[in-house]
Amino acid sequence: MTTKITLGIKISVFVYYQSEYSNPEREHFMFSYKVRIENLSDQPVQLLERHWDIFDSIGETTTVDGAGVVGEQPLLNPGDIHEYVSGCNLKSDLGYMQGYYKMQRTLDNSQFNVIIPRFNLISTYKLN
């Protein structure tokens, strides 16, 4: 698990190599990840956008931007937790992801970025 707190918003990421959906002979490595977003601040916030930088060890970097996460723009009151699961495929058995969420405080509409800490995408057989 990788964790980071930015301005009272805690991001935790859990990564899983999906061997059953991967095909190393065809350079297809599938990973899933679960993100837990916890509002430790004293104000309600809403997740508006996401930004990902995805690095594959074959030398490719991909940028992904979009509204919300998995089709949602969750509103988190103080103490709330929002979790979601998503996935990423690489052409190699090693890479990483990092990025940020654009959040908005609902009381004054001020926006700020919450860092998604870098987390590694490593196939299980690479760890052995």
Which of 116, 117, 114 is CA-nearest to residue 8?
A: 114
Q: Copy the structure tokens of residue 75.
A: 């509103």
Instruction: Please name the residues in contact with 119: beta carbons below 8 A apart, sequence gap of 6 or more.
Output: 2, 13, 15, 33, 96, 97, 98
Which homologous superfamily does the CATH classification assign to the domain defined by 2-127? ApaG domain (2.60.40.1470)
- The span from the CA of 97 to the CA of 60, in Å, is 12
Q: What residue segments make up the domains of the chain, in order of their start?
A: 2-127
User: Rounded distance, CA 45 to CA 28, Å?
Assistant: 37
pLDDT tens over the chain, length 128 residues: 999 999 999 999 999 999 999 999 999 999 999 999 999 999 999 999 999 999 999 999 999 999 999 999 999 999 999 999 999 999 999 999 999 999 999 999 999 999 999 999 999 866 65
Q: Give the dihedral of Cα atoms 118, 33, 54, 46; nearest 10 deg.
A: -80
Q: How far apart are CA 36 and CA 102, in angstroms?
A: 15
